[in-house]
Chain A
Amino acid sequence: QKEVEQNSGPLSVPEGAIASLNCTYSDRGSQSFFWYRQYSGKSPELIMFIYSNGDKEDGRFTAQLNKASQYVSLLIRDSQPSDSATYLCAVNSYDKVIFGPGTSLSVIP
């Protein structure tokens, strides 16, 4: 069973700080990596995807991928209270996408 694991939460950061979310995966054949944000009671929303080793930046979000170590992370700079949500890491495994259990982030004003 291919797995995706995320650092256990909840994670609390003060407003304006950097939030760091981590994810590890077991399938060495995975090529596509995603971060979703899910507000309470809502469906997941795709916020970042990364396919190559290294960093990918989009606004306040940076995704980092290290295939050799099988980990992917998401950094949120200048965290805002509106960033408070559950963040799901997702990884493709053959023809499916496997989701991690999510990390709950709380940004304290």
Chain B
Amino acid sequence: DGGITQSPKYLFRKEGQNVTLSCEQNLNHDAMYWYRQDPGQGLRLIYYSQIVNDFQKGDIAEGYSVSREKKESFPLTVTSAQKNPTAFYLCASTPGTTYEQYFGPGTRLTVT
């Protein structure tokens, strides 16, 4: 089955620790995206990548970092510099020729 996987589903960390969220897709999609969603809010774009070894900042990139070394993988690191990291993190991908985004199941991060 083709799809997008995110792991883990729930993640708990202490304040001051960096944490990396995994996103893998086997849809052969070119573009991948990371969003953050806070309770009762819409999706805010963190980073996106349209091709391997290239990525761009979204609207709220501060305190986050990404890499795109393989087409299938787009991991997101939440650094200790992110002031309010507790949120629901969503990874999405698109074929690259259209903007139809398909989402993974999400990772719920709690930092205490």
Contacts and interface: CB of A to CB of B under 8 A. Distances in A.
Interface of A: 32, 34, 42-46, 49, 88, 90, 92, 95-102
Most-contacted residue by chain B among A34, A43, A99, A100 (CB, 10 A): A43
Contact of B99 (A42, A88, A92): A92
Interface in B10-59: 33, 35, 41-43, 45, 48, 50, 56, 58
Contacts of B99: 32, 34, 92, 97
Contacts of A42: 105-106
B101 interface: yes
Main secondary structure of the interface of A (DSSP, over half): strand
Interface string B50-89: 1000001010000000000000000000000000000000
Contact of B103 (A43, A49, A96): A43
Interface residues of B, number: 20
Given A96-B48, A100-B42, A101-B42, A44 B100 contact: no
Contacts of A96: 45, 48, 58
Contacts of A100: 42
18 contacts: A34-B100, A42-B106, A43-B90, A43-B103, A44-B43, A44-B103, A46-B101, A46-B102, A88-B42, A88-B43, A90-B101, A95-B56, A97-B33, A98-B45, A99-B35, A101-B41, A101-B42, A102-B42
Contacts of B98: 32
A49 to B, nearest CB: 6
A93 to B, nearest CB: 10
Contacts of A92: 99
